[in-house]
Amino acid sequence: MAVKCATTVSAALREVPTTVAVQQTAAVLKLIADASESDMPRATEPRSAATETSHEGTECEESDSGPSGASSEDVVDEVAEGDEVQRVRAARRQARKRAKRERAKVCLARKKRRERDEADEHQRESDARLEERQQVAVEAMEQLRERRRLREHEEVDVRAGRGEVATRHE
C-alpha cells in the first residue's frame, strides 16, 4: 500500500506545473482537502479521476499512521492550508487572465499593424497612380507647347514668305 500512496503523490505532483516546493505543497493540500471532503457522502459530490486517486492516497496514509483525532490545531492548519489552496487557484486564474489579456493585446497589435500596412500600401498605390497621371499630363502639356511653337514658327515663316513675295511683286 505504501507504493500505491507514493505513486498517488507523484501523480499529483505531475499535475501542477510549478516549482518543486509549490508542487509538494499543492499535493499535500490536495490530500488534506480530499481528506476533509471524504467525510461528505459520495452521492452528493462528483469526483474527478485525479481527485479519487488523491483520495486513495489519503486513505493509505491514514491507515499507515493509525486512527487520527482531529485536534483544534489540526483543524486550524487544515483551514489555513485550504486557504492556501484557494490562493493557489486564484493565482492560477489570475495568471490565465493575464495570459489571455496579453494574447488579446498581441492580436490587436497585429491587427492594427496589418491595417496600417494595408492603408500604407493603398496610399502608395494611390500616390503612384497620381504621379503617373501627373507625368502623363506634363508630357501632354510639353507636346502641346511643342506643337504650338512649331505652328507659330510655321506661321512666322509663312508670313515672312508672303512678305518677301509681296515685296517682290511690287
How high is the pLDDT of residue 27? 79
Report the 3 state secondary structure along 29-93.
HHHHHHHHHCCCCCCCCCCCHHHHHHHHHHHHHHHHHCCCCCCHHHHHHHHHHHHHHHHHHHHHH
Taking each helix axis from N to C terminus, what angle separates 49-65 and 20-37, rounded to the nearest 10 degrees? 80
Mean pLDDT of the chain: 74
Of 34-43, 68-77, 104-113, the least confident: 34-43
How high is the pLDDT of residue 93? 96
Q: Which residue has the cell 490562493?
A: 87
Q: What is the pLDDT of residues 111-141, one digit of tens each?
A: 999 999 999 999 999 999 999 999 999 999 9
Residue 143, C-beta contacts closer than 8 angstroms, at least 6 positions apart: none
How far is 82 from 30, CA to CA, in rounded Å? 9
pLDDT band, very low/low/confident/very high, at 69 (cuts 50, 70, 90) = low
Q: Which residue has the cell 487557484?
A: 89
Handedness of CA 63, 56, 14, 3 (dihedral sign): positive
The residue among 155 and 161 whose pLDDT is bigger is 155
pLDDT band, very low/low/confident/very high, at 80 (cuts 50, 70, 90) = confident
Give CA angle at 96 (90, 97), nearest 5°.
90
pLDDT band, very low/low/confident/very high, at 102 (cuts 50, 70, 90) = very high
The residue among 60 and 150 whose pLDDT is bigger is 150
Separation of CA 161 from chain center: 84
How far is 39 from 59, CA to CA, in rounded Å? 12
